[in-house]
Amino acid sequence: MLGARPSWAPCLGLLRRLTLEATSPEAALARRLSTDAGEVLIGKAAGVEEGGAVVDALTFPTQARRTGVIAVKMGMTQDWDSYGAAVPLTVLWIDNCQVTQVRHLGEPGLTSLQVGIGSARRKHANNGQGESRERALAVSKRKLAEFRVTRDGALPVGTEIGAAHFKAGQFVDVTGTTTGKGFQGGMKRWGFAGAPASHGTSLAHRALGSTGACQDPGKVWKGKKMAGHMGVDRRTVHNCWLFKVDPQRNLLYVKGQVPGRRGNFVMVRDAIRKIQTDLPFPTFTGELPVPSTGVPEMDPYHLYQD
């Protein structure tokens, strides 16, 4: 439609803000800390106080589960590892991610943490966001999500979770919404081989072919793979290797691609299939460390040796 607003228009402000933060991390930190205290509850670097509770660093217990974060997919780039191999990377930005609500579930030993990212105007907050903001005394967020954690992994309301929550070299699971591709045929949507290019084939080179049986059963079975809408599906990529962590700019560099377009929200949490116990628990506290890069498990040169 003529004059319609592009789908990527809402993320332009995020891209400009990330550019400013990348040029001056100190100014970005001062800008975040100068937010009105009546609108947002910001914790200190050494711990977040709420009703006398302080977040202290603990030893990662067995069978514990930490909270995840919401991040913004900023695009892709590449870098070189310690072996000199080029690594394709997806840049994820954690924009002022805070705990907005703590919910105690009926299951024993489990708690749900609601976290929010960014800042939205009050008039743009829906009913669920407004109700949560009044209970949790937190600012209205642009995006909310819940993560199940163990009781010892719960965090006070207002705790800010940054990139230091993760560790370079660990594996994470990234959940997002895939890019919409519209109405597509069977070859692109399902990977069908299609019909022959010649030898008598006419006007059916990319056709599906047979979609059912003969008179018995005399119908097309439910779930038959056909042409239709493709994309805009919630997908999770498991065991993404975290190549680099930049705590000053709250950036995560994940090896490979993750679902979604540039500017979309994704959920990042510890990998379920590869459990690590050397991570900050329940979250990182203290002075922000310098950016760190993970080291590959083996030299990629040996992958091509006989």
Under 8 Å CB-to-CB from 30, ≥6 apart: which residues? none
Domain count, the chain: 1
**Domain range holding 250?**
64-179+228-285
In a domain, 215, yes or no: no
In a domain, 35, yes or no: no
In a domain, 71, yes or no: yes
Is residue 59 classed as helix, strand or coil in its secondary structure?
coil
In a domain, 68, yes or no: yes
Residue 66's pLDDT is what?
92
In a domain, 221, yes or no: no
In a domain, 10, yes or no: no
Which pLDDT tens digit goes with each residue over 206-244?
999 988 888 888 899 999 999 999 999 999 999 999 999
Nearest one of 72, 96, 65 to 176, comparing CA atoms:
72
pTM: 0.76
CATH code, 269: 2.40.30.10
**Residue 221 to residue 294: CA distance in whole angstroms:** 49
In a domain, 74, yes or no: yes
The beta strands (E) that lie in the chain are given as: 69-80, 86-93, 97-104, 110-117, 143-150, 160-161, 171-177, 182-184, 228-230, 234-246, 251-255, 265-270, 292-293
In a domain, 274, yes or no: yes
Residues of the chain with pLDDT under 50: 1-2, 6-8, 23, 27-53, 132-134, 136-137
